[in-house]
Amino acid sequence: AAVGAAERWLQVSFGMFGSIWVNEFSRAKKANKRGDWRDPIPRLVLYFGGGGFLAFYNCQMSWSSSPVVRPASDILSEKFDRRQALEALSQEQPVCYTLLDQRYFSGLGNIIKNEALYRAGIHPLSLGSLLSHQH
């Protein structure tokens, strides 16, 4: 950024149906309601100097003056705070709700939540306060 220029951060929310494609574009998998085989139109395409690109589909985007996510809650960050996560999971509420709370598990959505709980053998409505640390 130029000296004195305010930094801006792009926040992307994928919701239930959003996706990101790397170095390729999404293709139509079936005809639409009118019978057309039109490829989806990306919401945004970012091209990089080395020839690669990212194509974003079915997502919401907004600008922010600061990063929205704290590294301590970002599940992909090396600075993810495991202690904070365990503390959040020990609350007296169903673990499925806690896992979707972006204050503690930023970036975690329904698919990852369902897969993690299934693999751990934990019912989604189990109260976090009743789980052992072995789960």
94: Cβ contacts below 8 Å, ≥ 6 apart: 124, 125, 126, 127, 128
Q: How far apart are CA 18 and CA 97, in angstroms?
A: 21
Contact (Cβ atoms closer than 8 angstroms) between residue 72 and residue 84: yes
pLDDT digits (tens, 9 = 90+) for 62-96: 998 877 778 899 888 899 999 999 999 999 999 99
Mean pLDDT of 21-50: 92
pTM for the full predicted model: 0.60
Q: Which CATH class is domain 71-130?
A: mainly alpha
4: Cβ contacts below 8 Å, ≥ 6 apart: none
Domain(s) of CATH 1.10.8.50: residues in the chain: 71-130
pLDDT exceeds 70 at position 1: no
Virtual torsion, Cα 125, 126, 129, 134, nearest 10 deg: -140
Give me the phi and psi of 83, to 5 degrees please. Answer: -60, -45
